[in-house]
Amino acid sequence: MVEYSLINFKVRGDHSGSLVALEKGEEFPFDIKRVYYIYGTQRDIVRGKHSHRKLEQVIICTSGSCDFILDNGKERTTVHLDKPYQGLYIKHNIWREFTNFSSDCVVMVLASEHYDESDYIRDYNQFLETLK
Ligand code: T46
């Protein structure tokens, strides 16, 4: 089984709309050191194609939808993200690709570490080697 979890955040909503607040604690698994977001991606583009040595992330499709393909070196699974109140939590050593972007897709990512290119493994064979 590829290890990941889907976290349903508490929604504070009324007639004026919905609000989701994310703070470390019961609902959120780590201290957030970085936030980035991705938008304007064409449907068939495949992003990602890497794993991380240490980084943990919660990935939220705040608008539209896309598919995350997660790979632990033995198995692959596809997670469809289309709910702005749901976060995909993935730890290190998971190869990820994401694609099938709707035209209104905005992917927001909350990360446990600052940006560090040396944390990336961008070669699939090297990823398999690190799992041994
Ligand atoms: C991940 C998936 C879900 C920065 O300068 N700072 C940053 O914080 C990030 C995330 C990227 N960059 C630079 C590095 C590249 O020159 O932005 C460029 C695009 O990054 P990348 O090709 O890594 O983007 P994705 O969409 O393939 O992957 C990103 C994250 O990098 C990655 O950690 O898990 O989103």
CA angle 26, 72, 79 (to 5 degrees): 60
What is the model's pLDDT at position 49? 98
- Is the per-residue pLDDT at 9 higher than 90? yes
Q: Is the CB of 37 under 6 A from ligand 1?
A: no
Q: How far is the CA of 15 from the centre of ligand 1 (A)?
A: 36
Cβ neighbours for 51, distance < 8 A, ≥ 6 positions apart: 92, 93, 94, 95, 96, 120, 121, 127, 130
pLDDT confidence tier of residue 25, bands split at 50, 70 and 90: confident
Ligand 1 nearest-atom number relative to CA 98: 3
What is the model's pLDDT at position 122? 98
Name which residue sits closest to atom 15 of ligand 1, judged by CA.
Answer: 117
Which residues belong to the active site?
Answer: 50
DSSP bridge partners of 39:
106
- Is the per-residue pLDDT at 26 higher than 80? no
List the chain domain ranges: 5-11+19-131
The CATH number given to 5-11+19-131 is 2.60.120.10
Instruction: Record the pTM.
Output: 0.97
- Where do the DSSP E strands lie in 4-85? 5-8, 12-14, 17-19, 34-39, 47-52, 57-63, 66-71, 76-81
Q: What are phi and psi of 55, to 5 degrees?
A: -60, 140
Report the residue among 50, 67, 89 best suited for mutation to probe ligand 1: largest number of ligand atoms under 8 A from its CB. Answer: 50
CB 45 within 8 A of CB 80: no
Q: Is the CB of 38 under 6 A from ligand 1?
A: yes
Q: What value does the mean pLDDT take over residues 34-49?
A: 98
Ligand 1 nearest-atom number relative to CA 111: 33
